[in-house]
């Protein structure tokens, strides 16, 4: 894709690539007025996703989450404010701070399970129709739906599919309803948290919807940055019912493992089978 000569009406003095852009070309741009911005481009067959990302960032920002400011967006390019970070991870205090931020976000009651519009996670559609309970929402749209798509795509064998369907039939025995629907980032793992000096400074690449905050904890345990101590820190602020680990965490990790199966291939089948073994299905 051609490099932009101007952005926001200013001449681009320098562009440099940023890591972590799996779907898009992501670069830092230094403008001739001294500003640095982030440019995400190259939507190709993903037209519309950049505008959707901008909308989700605005929703999280309105909820008090530190996210990049959207400066301009169209089907081909998203320009966001630069947030100073050092590319490092979170230290102990930083993980505690992230747990506090997550608990604060989840403490705000939301109007219902699902969302006002469908979103995406990675390049995959993420449907968010309204459902009366968290169990009904998760069963239909985060377990059975992704499993069916993976089966149709030839990635999930019949045996594993039947095991997932058996789990779904007894889901109300395994998970609990939250006190109220909670706004979720939806894709909160180590790579989507910008840090400086070991502390979190912003969240990026959301996949928002309203559900149970436990699914965020489960994903952060799967691919970082949370460890057991961080979950305990969160629970000091928003108590968890007994059995989050290993039971409910394993249930919720299945959604993200199914997504990774569809995005990155059959190497995730073993992890899916392992979670089902843990759960006795």
What six digits make up the tokens of 102? 């997550």
d(CA 207, CA 192): 11
What six digits make up the tokens of 152? 């149709």
30 is catalytic: no
Q: What is the pLDDT of residue 2?
A: 60
d(CA 203, CA 172): 31
Architecture per CATH, 92-279: Alpha-Beta Complex (3.90)
Residue range 6-81, CATH number: 3.30.200.20
d(CA 17, CA 23): 14
Q: What is the pLDDT of residue 5?
A: 78
Q: What is the pLDDT of residue 45?
A: 55
Neighbours of 264 (CB within 10 A): 11
> Residue holding tokens 């630069």?
82
Q: Catalytic residue, from 187, 205, 227, 277: name it.
A: 187
Q: What is the pLDDT of residue 22?
A: 63
Domain ranges of the chain: 6-81, 92-279
pLDDT (tens, 9 = 90+) of the chain, 281 residues, equals: 567 778 898 999 999 998 755 678 899 999 999 999 999 987 665 668 999 999 999 999 999 999 999 999 988 899 999 999 998 899 999 999 999 999 999 999 999 999 999 999 998 999 999 999 999 999 999 999 999 999 999 999 999 999 999 999 999 999 999 999 999 999 999 999 999 999 999 999 999 999 999 999 999 999 999 999 999 999 999 999 999 999 999 999 999 999 999 999 999 999 999 999 999 99
- For residues 102 and 188, the answer to whether their CB atoms sit within 8 Å is yes
């Amino acid at each position: 894709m051609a490099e932009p000569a101007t952005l926001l009406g200013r001449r681009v003095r320098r562009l440099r690539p940023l890591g972590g852009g799996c779907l898009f070309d992501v670069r830092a741009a230094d403008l001739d007025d001294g500003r640095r911005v982030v440019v995400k481009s190259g939507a190709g067959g993903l037209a519309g996703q950049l505008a959707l990302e901008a909308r989700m960032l605005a929703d999280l920002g309105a909820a008090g989450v530190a996210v990049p400011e959207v400066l301009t967006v169209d089907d081909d390019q998203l320009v966001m404010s630069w947030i100073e970070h050092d590319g490092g991870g979170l230290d102990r205090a930083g993980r505690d701070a992230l747990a506090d931020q997550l608990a604060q976000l989840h403490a705000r009651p939301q109007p219902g399970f699902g969302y006002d519009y469908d979103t995406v996670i990675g390049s995959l559609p993420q449907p968010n129709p309204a459902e009366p309970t968290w169990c009904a929402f998760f069963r239909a749209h985060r377990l059975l739906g992704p499993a069916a798509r993976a089966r149709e795509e030839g990635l999930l064998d019949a045996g594993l599919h039947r095991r997932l369907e058996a789990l779904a039939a007894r889901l109300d025995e395994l998970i609990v309803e939250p006190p109220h629907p909670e706004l979720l980032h939806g894709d909160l793992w180590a790579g989507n948290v910008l840090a400086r000096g070991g502390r979190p400074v912003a969240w990026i690449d959301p996949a928002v919807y309203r559900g149970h905050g436990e699914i965020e904890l489960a994903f952060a345990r799967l691919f970082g940055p949370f460890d057991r101590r961080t979950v305990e820190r969160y629970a000091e602020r928003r108590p968890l019912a007994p059995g989050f680990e290993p039971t409910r965490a394993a249930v919720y990790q299945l959604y993200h493992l199914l997504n990774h199966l569809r995005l990155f291939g059959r190497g995730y089948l073993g992890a899916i089978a392992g979670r089902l073994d843990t759960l006795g299905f």
